[in-house]
């Protein structure tokens, strides 16, 4: 449980320590901060590079003292607010020890530049780049010039840089996935946020991270599986970039012998890009399924099957593979009895004044899909995705309509990790929402897989339990509707995760779209399944044959530039990976970097 909430405003003392000239990636620092916050007697903690912007953050959270003020951009500030100075010093000592132990291991296993890592790993065929946005394009250019494909996890890359990178890649026969590409599975290797899914005949490509995760997970559960999952990056299907990467992905999947069906997942592309992509797709030698969330097809393309929701990709793919499939779009993949039981259990908690759905999503595409259900409905045409996502300050209080929030949006991730890594922000909002009398249903996604929090369902379950208890103290209860994006093979395990959520009284639905539809039913106090079709979760009757797919000539060999967590994940999977212990040029000092650029 969030100890910040529990400890409230007790008396505390702030102590801090500066570790000189030591750069660590922000996720590593924030994880360390989390560990310190969990120590006895620590109310708040922060571990950050000593940039001016970070010092402001520290100041606002009351963690900036004289020691921290003197830190430079390339120093790390460790600051804690503790019950006693001695407990604070214990935390600082733990932080120093963590730095030293990493220094020892990192010195042995990492390289100080991309060039060094490639020199030592000539077989490398992809660079996974997750450095801060303003530096990412430079690293990507360097990787491309050395003949590596690039997955650019970083966001905040200038769009002109993206266009140039993709042109450079294309001219060298290389692929750039991203920027802002959070999900890929290449040659069986999950990169960044991806689930443990079975190998199969479907090649996925898309400009949507959690959309690709959801579809790959549902294909796995259906017994079908994927050959490749390729991300294009969130802006790829806009006019400026023109679908450059998505078109290349289709080329790659078309020539990949293991891919039998191609499926595309994206927010609605611009008109021109949609035309190009669909023209390319309809000319493909393999059937294509297109899920452009929220856009209805205006033109019929012979070779392309259009579907409305992420889950609808599965039956469309099954049809192309000649597999028997019982379900139609809009079905619930649970038994009618289960549906009614779940519905009754949620509806009976609600009082008359509780009217609204509050969606707290960690996946941007999952939020958009739910939005489509809640506000748009199937086939409603384009949705305004630049919708009001609500601000942190505003939170969920005083809600006057349904509101679905993407907690991975920039405004929620300043100074903290993505909610798929650190559920703290969502936990806080769950508690807030439980105290808001107008809220009937809290709708959530829980995303499992590599890169995600080690137990996101457990974290959500703690918050649900606490939230319901708080609501109960005010004589109310709240409905919870959740879907878990994950598989039995994921490190966090699907069944365990669903069980934890069920145990605290959440209704767990098999897909994100079904969870959203179910939340609407709860909100509307539906009494039964009615005309809805409830069918048992479909699965391919016969085992789908699968051959292993190899892009770029063989096993994936990765150069990881940036987040150490990605390196650890790949190492644990037995993937060949070289880690670049990247540090920002000029220690993150922009003035210095500008001056150096004049003479280098």
Residue 113 touching other proteins (CB under 8 A): yes
How long, in residues, is the chain?
600
Residues 6+ positions from 372 with CB-CB distance below 8 Å: 293, 294, 308, 309, 378, 380, 383, 516
Q: Which is nearer to other proteins, 107 or 159 (CB)?
A: 107
State yes or no: residue 101 binds other proteins (CB under 8 A).
no
Residue from the set 38, 107, 397, 472 that interacts with other proteins by CB under 8 A: 107
Strands 507-509 and 479-485: parallel
Q: Does 122 bind other proteins (CB under 8 A)?
A: no
Candidates 10, 21, 38, 381; binder of other proteins (CB under 8 A) is 21
Distances in whole angstroms, Cα of residue 189 to Cα of each of 44, 120, 121, 370, 557? 37, 21, 18, 29, 10
Are 451 and 420 spatial neighbours (Cβ–Cβ below 8 Å)?
yes
Q: For other proteins, which residue of 4, 23, 387, 535 counts as binding (CB under 8 A)?
A: 23
Question: Does 102 interact with other proteins (rule: CB under 8 A)?
Answer: no
Question: For residues 98 and 522, what is the distance between their CA atoms, to the nearest angstrom?
Answer: 47
- Asked if 104 interacts with other proteins (CB under 8 A), we say yes
Question: Is residue 533 at the binding interface for other proteins, with CB under 8 A as the rule?
Answer: no
Q: Which of 108, 322, 398, 475 binds other proteins (CB under 8 A)?
A: 108
Considering the complex, what minimum distance in angstroms separates the CB of residue 146 from other proteins?
A: 16
Which residue from 476, 435, 430, 478 is spatially nearest to 456, judged by alpha carbons? Answer: 430
Stretch that binds other proteins, among 51-59, 368-376, 565-573, 579-587 (CB under 8 A): 579-587
Which range binds other proteins by CB under 8 A, 36-44, 47-55, 106-114, 321-329?
106-114
CB half-sphere exposure, 59, CA atoms < 13 A: 10
Q: Provide the minimum distance between the beta carbon of 594 and other proteins in the complex, in angstroms, as a whole number.
A: 8
Touching other proteins, residues 353-392 (CB under 8 A):
none
Quickly tell me which residue has 């779009």 as its tokens: 329
Nearer to other proteins, 74 or 466 (CB): 74
Range in contact with other proteins (rule: CB under 8 A) among 256-264, 326-334, 349-357, 589-597 = 589-597
Q: Is residue 66 part of the contact set for other proteins (CB under 8 A)?
A: no
3-class SS letters over 370-413: HHHHHHHCCCCCCCCCCCCCCCCCCCCCCCCCCEEEECCCHHHH
Region of 55-63, 344-352, 558-566, 587-595 interacting with other proteins (CB under 8 A): 587-595
Q: Does 38 bind other proteins (CB under 8 A)?
A: no
Applying CB under 8 A, the span of 112-120, 278-286, 458-466, 549-557 interacting with other proteins comes to 112-120
Among 84, 112, 337, 401, binds other proteins (CB under 8 A): 112
Indicate the SS3 state at residue 268. coil
How far is 254 from 248, CA to CA, in rounded Å? Answer: 10
**How far apart are CB 121 and other proteins at their closest, in Å?**
13
Going by the DSSP 8-state scheme, the letter that residue 332 receives in this structure is B
Cβ-contact 169, 214 below 8 angstroms: no
The residues that bridge with 356 in the sheet, in sequence order, are: 439
Chain positions contacting other proteins, by CB under 8 A: 21, 23, 74, 104, 107-108, 111-113, 116, 583-587, 591-593, 595-596, 598-600
């Amino acid at each position: 449980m969030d100890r910040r909430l529990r400890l409230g405003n007790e008396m505390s003392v702030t102590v801090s320590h500066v570790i000189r000239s030591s750069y660590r990636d922000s996720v590593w620092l924030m994880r360390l901060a989390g560990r310190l916050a969990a120590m006895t007697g620590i109310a708040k903690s922060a571990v950050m590079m000593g940039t001016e912007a970070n010092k402001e953050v520290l100041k606002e959270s009351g963690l900036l003292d004289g020691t921290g003020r003197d830190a430079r951009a390339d120093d790390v500030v460790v600051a804690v607010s503790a019950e006693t100075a001695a407990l604070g010093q214990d935390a600082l000592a733990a932080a120093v020890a963590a730095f030293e132990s990493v220094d020892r291991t990192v010195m042995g296993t990492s390289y100080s530049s991309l060039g060094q890592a490639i020199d030592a790993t000539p077989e490398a065929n992809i660079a996974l780049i997750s450095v801060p946005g303003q530096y990412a394009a430079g690293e990507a250019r360097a990787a491309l010039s050395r003949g590596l494909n690039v997955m650019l996890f970083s966001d905040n890359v200038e769009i002109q840089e993206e266009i140039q990178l993709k042109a450079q890649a294309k001219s060298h026969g290389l692929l750039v996935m991203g920027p802002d590409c959070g999900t890929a599975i290449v040659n069986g290797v999950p990169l960044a946020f991806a689930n443990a899914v079975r190998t199969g005949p479907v090649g996925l490509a898309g400009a949507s991270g959690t959309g690709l995760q959801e579809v790959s997970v549902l294909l796995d559960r259906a017994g079908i599986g994927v050959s490749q999952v390729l991300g294009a990056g969130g802006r790829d299907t806009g006019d400026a970039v023109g679908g450059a990467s998505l078109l290349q992905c289709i080329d790659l999947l078309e020539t990949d012998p293991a891919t039998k069906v191609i499926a595309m997942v994206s927010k609605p592309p611009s008109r021109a890009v949609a035309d190009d992509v669909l023209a390319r797709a309809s000319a493909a030698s393999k059937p294509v399924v297109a899920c452009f969330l929220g856009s209805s097809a205006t033109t019929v393309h012979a070779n392309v099957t259009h579907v409305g929701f992420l889950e609808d990709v599965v039956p469309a793919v099954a049809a192309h593979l000649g597999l028997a499939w019982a379900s139609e779009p809009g079905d619930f993949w649970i038994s009618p009895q289960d549906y009614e039981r779940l519905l009754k259990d949620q509806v009976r908690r609600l009082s008359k004044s509780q009217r609204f759905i509050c969606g707290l999503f960690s996946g941007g595409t999952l939020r958009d899909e739910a939005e489509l259900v809640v506000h748009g409905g199937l086939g409603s045409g384009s949705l305004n995705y630049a919708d009001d996502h609500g601000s942190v300050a505003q939170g969920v209080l005083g809600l006057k309509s349904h509101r679905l929030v993407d907690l991975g949006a920039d405004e929620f991730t300043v100074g903290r990790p993505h909610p798929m890594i650190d559920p703290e922000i969502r936990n806080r909002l769950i508690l807030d929402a439980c105290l808001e009398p107008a809220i009937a249903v809290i709708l959530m996604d829980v995303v499992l897989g590599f890169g995600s929090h080690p137990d996101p369902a457990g974290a959500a379950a703690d918050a649900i339990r606490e939230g319901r208890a708080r609501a109960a103290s005010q004589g109310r209860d709240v409905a919870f509707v959740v879907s878990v994006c994950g598989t039995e093979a994921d490190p966090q395990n699907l069944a365990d995760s669903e069980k934890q959520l069920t145990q605290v009284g959440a209704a767990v639905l098999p897909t994100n779209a079904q969870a959203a539809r179910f939340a609407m039913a709860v909100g509307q106090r539906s009494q039964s399944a009615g005309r809805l079709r409830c069918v048992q979760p479909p699965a391919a009757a016969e085992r789908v044959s699968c051959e292993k797919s190899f892009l770029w000539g063989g096993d994936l060999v990765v150069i990881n530039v940036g987040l150490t967590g990605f390196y650890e994940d790949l190492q644990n999977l037995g993937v060949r990976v070289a880690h670049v212990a990247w540090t920002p040029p000029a220690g993150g000092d922009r003035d210095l970097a500008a001056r150096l650029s004049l003479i280098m």
